[in-house]
Amino acid sequence: MAAFRTRPAMLLQMMRAQFLIGILFPLTAGMLIAVHHAAAFHLLGFLLVLGVGLGLHIATNVYNDVYDTLQHADTADQAARGTLSGGSGLLLANPALMSTMKWLARSGLLLSLVFFLAFLTQIDTRLWPGLILIYGTSVFLSKYYTAAPIKLGYRGLGELFVWFSFGPLAVMLGILSQNLPLEPWILPYLPLTGLTTLTIQWYGQLMDEPSDRAGGKRGLVIRMGTSHARYGYLALHLLILTNFLYVAWILPTFLWAFLAALIVYLTVSPRLWITLWRQYDQPPSLRAVSLYNGALYFTDSLLFLLGVGSTLLFH
């Protein structure tokens, strides 16, 4: 372990640190929505919730690597792996890291628990039941998204829970960070960050279809077939734009964010869509344009934060 501590770059790779931004978007969105509603900001609550979310996300990333490797879903050659698909590849190259990876996943859960217990002291006790339910569900999903015997991601249920984890669950946690109860007015803000995260997973399944099929990881892309799955990918982006438009209807100052997102789709993504439509069953071609998918995810998520945040200037 001493040698491992001297290699922070490997530690970050084991965590798949490039994906940790995925939990920051919904938590920050929830916080901004709550601040807009309550006109008050509780910094400590937000920092503690960030600790909870990052710990859970680290555990999720590492557990996914561990169990996908053990269950032979991660079998692609390292040279063929993309930045936005598959696991880290570390266990394929060095199986001796398995015990370290399990230690890292458990450490992520422990880190999240420490921040969670500290956060309980910062909010109204009437909010505890909802918070405990959100946290308990997130801990369960962090492991059993891939781990046997549940293996949600292998049974065509993973997509639903990815959306749920990075959409409603995480946004509600961000709202709770401001000591605000969960009420019906939050519903229009819950789906979007889950949908943007799901586009990454969905496109990743298209790229990883051969190894996923060989490893028995039968997500919706495999169950639908790649030809039909491209329509599912299109539907996700239409839902994202619909959610943008609905939030703009509630918050008129958010309209600029919807228009900006529309411009991004029209100017940035044509090559992605053309490749996907013509070569949906050719993973190397899909990998070649995967950064466009990542760019859509990032800009959609960022515009959502900036759009909600800008409403604070006019509140």
| Both structure tokens of 149 | 């015997």
Query: How many Cα atoms are found within 13 Å in the side-chain-facing hemisphere of 58?
Result: 24
CATH 1.10.600, domain 2-312, yes or no: yes
**For the chain, where are the alpha helices, taking DSSP H only?**
2-5, 8-15, 21-38, 43-70, 90-93, 98-120, 128-144, 158-164, 170-176, 192-207, 209-214, 220-224, 226-250, 255-268, 270-278, 283-288, 290-312
Q: What is the pLDDT of residue 84?
A: 58
Q: What is the pLDDT of residue 102?
A: 95
**Residue 195 CB partners (closer than 8 Å, separation 6+):** 163, 167, 236, 239, 240, 243
Q: What is the pLDDT of residue 79?
A: 41
**Predicted pLDDT of residue 4:** 45
Give me the phi and psi of 73, to 5 degrees please. Answer: -85, -30
The sign of the dihedral angle between the CA atoms of 267, 270, 273, 275 is negative
Question: Per-10-residue mean pLDDT for the chain, 315 residues long?
Answer: 57 87 96 93 97 97 92 60 63 87 96 98 96 97 94 93 97 97 96 97 93 86 95 97 97 95 93 95 94 96 95 77
Distance CA 315, CA 312 (A): 5
Per-residue pLDDT, 187: 97
pLDDT for the residue numbered 313: 75
- Residue 34: predicted pLDDT: 96
Q: Please give the model's pTM, rounded to 2 decimal places.
A: 0.93
Residue 299: count of CB within 10 angstroms of its CB: 18
pLDDT of residue 3: 44
Instruction: In whole angstroms, give the CA distance from residue 314 to residue 256.
Output: 14
- 274 burial type by CB count under 10 A (0-12 exposed, 13-18 middle, 19+ buried): exposed
pLDDT at 87: 67
Within 8 A by CB and 6+ apart from 53, the residues are: 23, 24, 27, 112, 170, 173
Give yes or no for a contact between 50 and 112, defined as CB atoms under 8 angstroms apart. Answer: no
